[in-house]
């Protein structure tokens, strides 16, 4: 049981490092692509690499902090409902505050 926990912790640290490296690679490539374009030109945003880096980083943090549980066991449906409710409330608040910012 203890070896399984150590293995999970090691796996979490590896995922965390991998996620951070992917995140920096994606952001670095995006910035390099943006800087190499002419004005009003097109550039590539490496969102796939960035999202993969964010996923591995979050998964690594979770596995490092909770080596007994699996990241996949999180109830994403419940999280999605809370996120949608948060976005709706934020949108309503912004709609209510919009007249104060209109000049």
Mean pLDDT of 62-70: 75
Query: How far from chain centre, in Å, is Cα 88?
Result: 21
Helix, strand, coil percent values for the chain (each to nearest 5): 80, 0, 20
Closest to 33 in 3D by CA, of 52, 25, 21, 53: 25
d(CA 2, CA 9): 11
Rounded to two decimals, the pTM is 0.62
Q: For 4-60, how does the pLDDT look when each residue is reduced to its tens digit (9 = 90+)?
A: 778 878 888 898 899 899 989 988 998 888 888 877 778 788 888 888 888 888 888
Domain that holds residue 39: 2-101
Question: How much is the pLDDT for 84?
Answer: 77
pLDDT of residue 91: 78
Q: How many domains does the chain have?
A: 1
* Mean pLDDT within 63-72: 71
- pLDDT score, position 103: 41
CA distance 103 to 98: 10
């Amino acid at each position: 049981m203890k070896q399984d926990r150590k293995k999970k912790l090691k796996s979490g640290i590896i995922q965390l490092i991998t996620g951070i490296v992917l995140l920096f690679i994606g952001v670095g490539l995006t910035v390099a692509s943006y800087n190499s374009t002419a004005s009003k030109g097109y550039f590539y945003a490496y969102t796939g690499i960035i999202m993969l880096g964010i996923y591995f980083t979050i998964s690594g943090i979770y596995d490092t902090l909770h080596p007994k549980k699996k990241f996949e066991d999180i109830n994403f449906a419940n999280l999605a409902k809370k996120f949608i409710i948060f976005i709706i409330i934020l949108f309503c608040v912004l709609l209510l505050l919009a007249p104060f910012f209109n000049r």
